[in-house]
Amino acid sequence: MSDHLVLAHGWGFGPGVWRPMLRHLPEVTFHAVNLGYFGPGDTSLPTQQQPFVAIGHSLGVPWLLRHLTSHRNQCRGLISINGFSRFANTADFPTGVGRRILDRMRNQLQTDPHAVLHAFQQQAGLPTPLPLPAKPDITTLTEGLTWLCEWDEHNTLNHWPLPMMAIASRDDRIVTPAMTEATFSQETIHWLPEGGHLLPLTQPATVASLVRTLLP
CA–CA gap between residue 173 and residue 159 (Å, rounded)? 27
* 194-207 burial: b if 16+ Cβ within 10 Å, else e: ebbbbbbbbbbebb
> pLDDT at position 181, please?
97
State pTM to two decimals.
Answer: 0.95
> pLDDT at position 2, please?
56
Question: Which one of 2.60.40.3500, 3.40.50.1860, 3.40.50.1820, 3.40.50.2020 gives the CATH number of domain 4-214?
Answer: 3.40.50.1820
pLDDT in tens, the chain (216 residues): 457 999 999 999 999 999 999 999 999 999 999 999 998 999 998 877 889 999 999 999 999 999 998 887 899 999 999 999 999 999 999 999 999 999 999 999 999 999 999 999 999 998 887 887 778 999 999 999 999 999 999 999 999 999 999 999 999 999 999 999 999 999 999 999 999 999 999 999 999 999 999 987
> pLDDT at position 64, please?
97
> pLDDT at position 1, please?
42
